[in-house]
């Protein structure tokens, strides 16, 4: 069951609804013919009939504003129609996320979507409908989790999502990988390799990342650095980020890309490393990982929280616990929240859910 909040009525200003089958044509009888060929229905009744689709149309429009780069969904989804009446796909795709963590997740996703939808209803609807493409499963899951990222007062890192969390939310892992790759090439997101494990990746929206770079630049500007040195941040954002999509970069490539902005010196690279944007790769002198600045505290939280949950579960008699009381527990070593860690561990395969008559149970996986 998807719980929807009551929607306000469509605006009386019909010019905004230009793209819909024109209400005025249907409702007001054509002046040319004497007898009304169409049944006379009042505007209110028409709106009642079409109100549900109007609501859903708003949801569609909201998506189009975000997907301005026209993210093409994978082969499975792109075949579906863009009809106004046929809106099942967006609900289906939300349902398809298969989020076992409770229906309140789904309710929250629709809340997020409809809250933003209200703002956009008066926007460029006609253009929006034409350019609208179905958002892919991964994008929906990504936005859902980003909106639920816990607020941490201590650090100012914008929300990121771990790849294992996406794996636990979307059924098909290959689909997640491919859609992430496509979004990466469309420059919507940025994927970073974390130092917490061998295959850990964090995904952040490009806009968030650029904002974080600017924040760290502002923080560094308080120190004594010449403005010529500070220009390296602009070169990074303008020349390196749009072109280089990998999580790592070699020294020579970095220098080549940065030198489009100006002459690059070693002090520039040092400045980038001090800001936390670059980290040296272990065992290799000349390669760097691109990194999120100021993320160290959260990574410590991540590993601590994981270890805490696993040790807690392994201490229990049958290595399992009901999900709902588990989510209510507080973590001592992590600020990221129980839900974040549960999703992450589900994606990694360390725990799995089992359905039982008293609700979903989280069980520790045995090798």
Partner 1 sequence: MWRGLRGREVGATRPRSLATHVRADRVRQINLSGHKEIVSAHNSGINSLQIDCTEARYLLAGAADGSVGVYDTQQPTFMDSAIKVAKHEALFTVDKSVPQGHIYSVTCVQWYPVDTGLFVTGSFDKKINLWDTNTHQVELQFEMPEKVHAIAMSSIAATHMLVAAGTEDVRIRLCDLASGACTHTLSGHRDGVWALQWSATSEWVLYSGGCDGAIRFWDIRRAGCFQVLDQNRSQIERRSNVTSSTQRQELASAPVGSSSTSEMQRPVAKRTKPSTVSKPSKIAKIKDPGVRRSHPGMTLANDRSTAHHGSVTALQTSDDGLNLFSAGTDSRVRLWDIESGRNTLVNYEATKIRTHQGTQLAVSMDSSLLFVPSAHSLQVIEISL
Interface ranges with partner 1 (CB under 8 A): 75, 167, 173-174, 176-178, 181-182, 184-185, 193, 198-199, 242-250, 252-253, 256-257, 259-260, 284, 287, 349, 367
- Shortest spacing between CB 186 and partner 1, in angstroms: 9
Least distance between partner 1 and beta carbon 294 (Å): 24
Q: Residue 299 or 331: which CB sits closer to partner 1?
A: 299
Measured from the CB atom, the residue of 182 and 341 that comes closer to partner 1 is 182
Cα 122 from Cα 11, distance rounded (Å) = 9
Please identify, using beta-carbon distances, which residue of 72 and 158 lies nearer to partner 1.
72
Residue 44 DSSP code? H
CB of 108 to partner 1, least distance (A): 27
Cβ proximity to partner 1, 146 vs 244, nearer residue: 244
Closest approach of partner 1 to the CB of residue 240, in Å: 11
Q: How far is the CB of 161 from partner 1 (least distance, A)?
A: 17
Contact between 166 and 138 under an 8 Å Cβ cutoff? The reply is yes
CB of 219 to partner 1, least distance (A): 29
- Mark out the alpha helices in the chain (DSSP H runs): 23-27, 43-66, 75-78, 88-96, 103-120, 125-131, 137-147, 163-169, 173-185, 206-221, 227-235, 251-258, 266-275, 296-315, 323-328, 338-348
Q: Which is nearer to partner 1, 56 or 163 (CB)?
A: 163
**Closer CB to partner 1, 194 or 295, in the complex:** 194
Q: How far apart are CA 240 and CA 176, in angstroms?
A: 25
CA-based nearest residue to 346, from 322, 328, 327, 364: 364
- Measured distance CA(305)–CA(184) in Å, rounded: 29
Sign of the C-alpha dihedral, residues 88, 343, 174, 288? Answer: positive
CB of residue 190 to partner 1, shortest distance in Å = 13
Q: Coil, helix or strand for 362?
A: strand
| Cα 365 from chain centre | 28
C-beta of 257: minimal distance to partner 1 in Å?
8
Residue among 70 and 156 whose Cβ is closer to partner 1? 70
| Pick 253 or 363: Cβ nearer partner 1 | 253
What tokens were used for 65? 């504003």
Q: Helices H, strands E: what count in the chain?
A: 16, 9
Cα separation, 219 vs 237, whole angstroms: 17
Which residues contact residue 161 at a Cβ distance below 8 angstroms, ignoring those fewer than 6 apart? 142, 145, 146, 149, 202, 203, 204
> Taking the complex as a whole, how short is the minimal distance between the CB of residue 178 and partner 1, in angstroms?
5
Tokens of 304: 């601590």
Residue number with CB closer to partner 1 (58 or 67): 67
């Amino acid at each position: 069951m998807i719980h929807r909040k009551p929607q306000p009525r469509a605006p009386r200003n019909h010019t905004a609804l230009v793209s819909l089958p024109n209400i005025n044509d249907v409702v007001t009888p054509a002046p040319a013919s004497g007898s009304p060929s169409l049944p006379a229905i009042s505007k209110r009744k028409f709106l009642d009939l079409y109100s549900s689709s109007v609501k859903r149309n708003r949801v569609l429009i909201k998506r189009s504003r975000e997907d301005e780069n026209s993210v093409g969904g994978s082969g499975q989804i792109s075949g579906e129609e863009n009809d106004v009446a046929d809106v099942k796909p967006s609900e289906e795709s939300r349902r398809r996320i298969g989020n076992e963590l409770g229906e309140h997740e789904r309710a929250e996703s629709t809340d997020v979507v409809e809250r933003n939808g209200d703002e956009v209803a008066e926007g460029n609807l006609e253009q929006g409908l034409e350019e609208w493409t179905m958002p892919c499963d991964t994008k929906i899951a990504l936005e859902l989790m980003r909106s639920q990222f816990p607020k941490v007062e201590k650090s100012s890192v914008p929300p990121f999502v771990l790849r294992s969390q996406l794996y636990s939310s979307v059924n098909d892992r290959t689909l997640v990988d491919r859609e992430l790759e496509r979004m990466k090439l469309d420059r919507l997101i940025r994927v970073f390799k974390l130092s917490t494990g061998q295959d850990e990746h964090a995904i952040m929206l490009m806009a968030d990342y650029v904002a974080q770079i600017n924040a760290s630049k502002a923080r560094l500007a308080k120190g004594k650095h010449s403005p010529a040195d500070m220009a390296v941040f602009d070169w990074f954002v303008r020349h390196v980020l749009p072109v280089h999509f990998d999580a790592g970069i070699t020294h020579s490539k970095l220098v080549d890309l940065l030198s489009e902005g100006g002459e690059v010196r070693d002090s520039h690279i040092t400045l980038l490393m001090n800001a936390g944007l670059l980290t040296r790769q272990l065992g290799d002198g000349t390669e760097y990982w691109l990194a999120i600045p100021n993320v160290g505290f959260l990574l410590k939280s991540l590993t601590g929280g994981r270890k805490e949950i696993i040790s807690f579960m392994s201490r229990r008699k049958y290595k399992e616990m009901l999900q709902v009381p588990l989510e209510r527990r507080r973590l001592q070593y992590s600020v990221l929240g129980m839900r974040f860690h549960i999703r992450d561990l589900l994606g990694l395969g360390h725990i799995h859910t089992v359905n039982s008559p008293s609700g979903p149970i989280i069980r520790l996986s045995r090798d």
